[in-house]
Structure 1
Amino acid sequence: MANPWTKKNPLLSMMLSGANAWAGAARGIMAGQAKRQQAAATRQGTRQVADFWTAALTGGAPKKARTTKKRRS
């Protein structure tokens, strides 16, 4: 008598194939989002470093004189 546990199950095979396809798509979406977030963080950090050193070497932007508001009579 053949072992029933070793028989192929087409329903289970289709279900696992679908789950594997869904998991692969989800993994690709998550990897793409992580890559975009990492690139954005790198750009922001680079911009902050450049702004810091530009301000340090050039003295920064001149400060505006404070003006007082005139009161209405």
Structure 2
Amino acid sequence: MANPWTKKNPFLSIMLSGANAWAGAARGIMTGQAKRQQAAATRQSAKQVTDFWTAAMTGAAPKKRTRKKRP
């Protein structure tokens, strides 16, 4: 007599195929979002470094002197 546990189950196969499709779609969405967040963080970091060194090289703008009012 054949073992019933080793027999193929078409309903289980369909269910697992559907679950695998959903998991693949969810993984793709999460991977895309992670890449977008990483790119945004990289852009922000590069902008901060550029702004820092630009300000360091050009120097701060001189402060304007204000006159005191005479009584």
User: Under a length normalisation based on structure 1, what TM-score does the superposition of the two structures give?
Assistant: 0.82
- Greater length-normalized contact order (CA 8 Å, ≥ 6 residues apart): 1
Hey, what does 2:47 align to over in structure 1? Answer: 47
Q: State the 1:3 CA deviation.
A: 0.5
1:47 aligned counterpart, secondary structure: helix
CA–CA distance in structure 2, aligned partners of residues 32 and 18 of structure 1:
21
Runs of 4+ deviating beyond 3 Å: 60-66
User: Under a length normalisation based on structure 2, what TM-score does the superposition of the two structures give?
Assistant: 0.84
CA–CA distance in structure 1, aligned partners of residues 3 and 17 of structure 2:
24
- Residue segments in structure 2 that go unaligned for 5+ positions in a row: 67-71
- Residue segments in structure 1 that go unaligned for 5+ positions in a row: 67-73
Hey, what does 1:7 align to over in structure 2? Answer: 7
